[in-house]
């Protein structure tokens, strides 16, 4: 009997039987012992090999599978795409990538916790898998992003293939959107999720897996930008606009950090005397090549990427500091500062705004301008916030009045002091057969019944100023290119000082 001692301990014995006693001599016994040892060696290596194979399979599984959903992961996808792209036949389009992003997943995760979020993702992964053919690859890239790679199968020449795969991809995308959008009950709540899908074609939209995924992501972003719940096919135009947006975004963040923004000031004057009574602070972004960008070109993105609060704070503080300097020089002016809707909601804080201003001037010197639509956002909150701003001493104005959707019944409940007549009405004043005069007259009447004083925007001619003055019922102010465009602080200062030296009305001509 020969024990078999493998690495994992005794695992059996090799028994050789003879019907005669002492049948095996010493040498034969040695031979049999060696045989047993060889057997042990063979067994050990066999076992080690299969353990290694198993471990390798596990490592492969872990490396190429998403732990949460059990779907293949991004690494798997890259390999898969590499294979497709390295196949010589992948010349005519026959594959497409669908980049799927959920609209509305983050609030679930934030509000109900990660466990619920994880379960939602697991269930959606199953739905996604059920929406496609077995031959299609479904991948979870991370977060709430999934990708599907489909093949167009039939090849009838490049043009037909293209049409066919685009068609298949859009139809599948719509099916996926519909399927993912069905109500989903997890964590005691029923959720309604929407999905947006971006599509890229292989190899039309790239011969590199990372680029193809990126392009599908850009197309998805475009689908989202257009309201979500739809699919969008990648095109070069999206790539360009995405690139521009991305570089503008990076430059905006830098501009904020490096304080590249500047405030220009447009004089606000009394229509009757043409005396400068206030300045409106308007943000500008000077460029290296000398061009000065107006807010219309960059403020929408500032709002979108969440930079409006730091930039808005900077504007308010800088305008207040400038006003202090002018007060010190004897220029007793007020300062108008624009507040965007995103500075008011959801976290607008009157004390915070007052804190930015108070080190320099009393808030009563500051007129905060808010557009009509911002005032209509959330009636109860608006009322409370405006009241709090008033309590801090700020003056409040409705900007661009007449272009939004305010209702008179709401306006009378708000703490406001002035109303800025939008320049589109002022513009109309000169035009023959226009209703401009009638409209401005109505706005004036309304303002006086609400006890608000008016500031006309965009006065470009003496005739407009005169008409506005004739129509006004009380204190009337205005601003516009007729008097002066927005100008840098030092120019404003020069103008205001020159104006202050003039006293007779006859001398009041625009610069």
Interface residue list for ligand C2E (CB under 6 A): 266, 282-283, 294-296, 299, 312, 315, 338-340, 369, 399-400, 423, 457-460, 479-481, 486
3-state secondary structure 185-218: EECCEEECCEEEEEEEEECCCCCCHHHHHHHHHH
Least Cβ distance, residue 371 to ligand C2E (angstroms)? 7
Stretch that binds Mg ion, among 232-240, 395-403, 437-445, 480-488 (CB under 5 A): 395-403
**Which residues in the 430-459 window bind Mg ion by CB under 5 A?**
457
Site string for Mg ion, 16-55 (x = CB under 5 A): ----------------------------------------
Tokens at 143, concatenated: 């977060």
What number of other Cβ atoms are within 10 A of residue 234's Cβ? 27
Residue with smaller CB distance to ligand C2E, 118 or 303: 303
Asked if 204 is part of the footprint of Mg ion (rule: CB under 5 A), the reply reads no
Q: Is 474 left (phi over 0), alpha (psi -120 to 50) or beta?
A: beta
Residue with smaller CB distance to Mg ion, 231 or 382: 382
Total number of residues shown for the chain: 511
User: Sign (positive/negative) of CA torsion 446, 451, 453, 457?
Assistant: negative
Least Cβ distance, residue 319 to Mg ion (angstroms)? 12
Residue with smaller CB distance to ligand C2E, 129 or 424: 424
Cβ–Cβ < 8 Å for 430, 465: no
CA distance 444 to 431: 19
CA distance 282 to 240: 30
Residue with smaller CB distance to ligand C2E, 221 or 261: 261
Least Cβ distance, residue 270 to ligand C2E (angstroms)? 16
Within 8 A by CB and 6+ apart from 36, the residues are 2, 3, 4, 14
Residue with smaller CB distance to ligand C2E, 266 or 406: 266
Residue with smaller CB distance to ligand C2E, 172 or 299: 299
Residue with smaller CB distance to ligand C2E, 355 or 404: 404
Least Cβ distance, residue 424 to ligand C2E (angstroms)? 10
Q: Is 408 left (phi over 0), alpha (psi -120 to 50) or beta?
A: alpha
Least Cβ distance, residue 351 to ligand C2E (angstroms)? 19
Residue with smaller CB distance to ligand C2E, 65 or 461: 461
266 makes contact, choosing from Mg ion, ligand C2E, none, with CB < 5 to 8 Å by partner type, with ligand C2E
Eight-state DSSP code of residue 231: E
Asked if 231 is part of the footprint of Mg ion (rule: CB under 5 A), the reply reads no
For 294-341, the DSSP string reads -HHHHHHHHHHTT-HHHHHHHHHHHHHHHHHHHHHTT---EEEEE--H
Least Cβ distance, residue 503 to Mg ion (angstroms)? 29
- Least Cα distance to 343 among 303, 378, 398, 383 occurs for 303
197 makes contact, choosing from ligand C2E, Mg ion, none, with CB < 5 to 8 Å by partner type, with none
Least Cβ distance, residue 481 to ligand C2E (angstroms)? 4
What number of other Cβ atoms are within 10 A of residue 160's Cβ? 14
**Which residues in the 266-295 window bind Mg ion by CB under 5 A?**
none
Site string for Mg ion, 396-415 (x = CB under 5 A): ---xx---------------
**279, β-bridge pairs:** 267, 335
What are the C-alpha distances in Å from 416 to residues 50, 379, 389, 419, 476?
Answer: 81, 14, 10, 8, 16
Residue with smaller CB distance to Mg ion, 177 or 276: 276
CA distance 180 to 101: 11
Tokens at 304, concatenated: 């979108």
481 makes contact, choosing from Mg ion, ligand C2E, none, with CB < 5 to 8 Å by partner type, with ligand C2E
Residue with smaller CB distance to Mg ion, 295 or 355: 295
Least Cβ distance, residue 266 to ligand C2E (angstroms)? 6
Least Cβ distance, residue 299 to ligand C2E (angstroms)? 6
CA distance 295 to 72: 46
Q: What is the CA radius of gyration of the chain?
A: 37
**376, β-bridge pairs:** none
**H/E segment holding residue 149:** strand 145-151
Asked if 372 is part of the footprint of Mg ion (rule: CB under 5 A), the reply reads no
Least Cβ distance, residue 420 to Mg ion (angstroms)? 5
Least Cβ distance, residue 258 to Mg ion (angstroms)? 26
Residue with smaller CB distance to ligand C2E, 48 or 297: 297
283 makes contact, choosing from Mg ion, ligand C2E, none, with CB < 5 to 8 Å by partner type, with ligand C2E
Among 338, 390, 454, 464, binds Mg ion (CB under 5 A): 338
Interface residues with Mg ion (CB under 5 A) are: 338, 369, 399-400, 457
């Amino acid at each position: 009997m020969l024990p078999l001692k493998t690495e994992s301990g005794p695992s059996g014995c090799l028994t050789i039987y003879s019907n005669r006693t002492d049948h095996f001599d010493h040498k034969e016994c040695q031979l049999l012992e060696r045989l047993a040892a060889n057997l042990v060696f063979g067994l050990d290596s066999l076992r080690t090999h299969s353990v290694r194979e198993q471990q390798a399979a596990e490592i492969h599984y872990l490396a190429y599978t998403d732990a949460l959903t059990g779907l293949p992961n991004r690494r798997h996808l890259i390999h898969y795409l590499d294979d497709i792209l390295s196949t010589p036949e992948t010349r005519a389009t026959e594959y497409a990538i669908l980049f799927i992003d959920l609209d509305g997943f983050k609030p679930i995760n934030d509000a109900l916790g990660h466990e619920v979020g994880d379960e939602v993702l697991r269930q959606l992964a199953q739905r996604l898998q059920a929406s496609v053919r077995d031959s299609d690859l479904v991948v979870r890239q991370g977060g709430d992003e999934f990708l599907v790679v489909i093949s167009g199968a039939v090849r009838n020449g490049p043009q037909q293939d293209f049409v066919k795969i685009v068609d298949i991809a859009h139809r599948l995308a719509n099916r996926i959107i519909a399927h993912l959008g069905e109500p989903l009950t997890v964590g005691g709540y029923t959720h309604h999720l929407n999905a947006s899908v971006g599509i890229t074609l292989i190899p039309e939209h790239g011969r590199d897996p990372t680029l193809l995924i990126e392009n599908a992501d850009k197309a998805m972003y475009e689908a989202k930008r257009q309201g979500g719940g739809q699919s969008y096919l990648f095109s070069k135009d999206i790539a360009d606009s995405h690139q521009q947006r991305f570089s503008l975004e990076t430059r905006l963040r830098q501009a904020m950090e490096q304080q590249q923004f500047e405030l220009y000031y447009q004089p606000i004057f009394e229509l009757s005397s043409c005396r400068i009574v206030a300045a409106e602070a308007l943000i500008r972004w000077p460029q290296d090549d000398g061009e000065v960008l107006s807010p219309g070109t960059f403020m929408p993105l500032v709002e979108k990427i969440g930079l409006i609060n730091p930039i808005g704070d900077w504007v308010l503080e800088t305008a207040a500091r400038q006003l202090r300097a002018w007060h010190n020089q004897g220029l007793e002016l007020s300062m108008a500062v624009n507040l965007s809707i995103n500075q008011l909601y959801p976290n607008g804080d009157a004390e915070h705004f007052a804190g930015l201003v108070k080190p320099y001037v009393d808030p009563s010197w500051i007129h905060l301008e808010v557009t009509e639509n911002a005032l209509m956002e959330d009636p109860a909150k608006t009322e409370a916030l405006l009241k709090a701003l008033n309590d801090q001493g700020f003056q409040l104005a409705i900007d661009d009045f007449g272009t939004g959707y305010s209702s008179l019944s709401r306006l009378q409940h708000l703490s406001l002091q002035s109303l800025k007549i939008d320049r589109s009405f002022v513009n109309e004043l000169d035009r023959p057969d226009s209703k401009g005069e009638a409209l401005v007259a109505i706005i004036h009447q309304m303002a006086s019944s609400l006890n608000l004083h008016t500031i006309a925007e965009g006065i470009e001619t003496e005739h407009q100023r005169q008409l506005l003055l004739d129509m006004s019922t009380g204190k009337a102010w205005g601003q516009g290119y007729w008097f002066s465009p927005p100008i840098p602080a030092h120019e404003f200062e020069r103008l205001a000082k020159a104006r202050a030296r003039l006293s007779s009305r006859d001398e009041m001509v625009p610069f």
